[in-house]
Amino acid sequence: MPPNLRELPVSERTHLVEDQWDSIAKEQSGLPLTDAQRRELDQRLNAYESDGDSGREAREAIADIRART
């Protein structure tokens, strides 16, 4: 990291990193998948579709997690 960036407060450096991460995430949509990645995604999608269980709402899952602690 250039010295002048190291002088920024942590909150500003964190914001810069988050902005960079967001820009990388946007560009990843154009990255090609490998054959192995595509097979794995297809396998997971097929398993999800054949299961028939759409899961549960996040608030219910979070409530269960909080009840365990």
Measuring CA to CA, how many Å separate 12 from each of 2, 6, 20? Answer: 14, 10, 12
How far apart, in whole angstroms, are the C-alpha atoms of residue 18 and residue 2? Answer: 18
In the chain, what's the furthest Cα-to-Cα distance?
Answer: 55
| 44-67 pLDDT per residue, tens | 999 989 987 888 999 999 999 999
pTM of whole model > 0.75? Answer: no
Amino acid letter at 61? A
| 15-43 pLDDT per residue, tens | 999 999 898 888 877 778 899 999 999 99
- DSSP state letter for 33: P
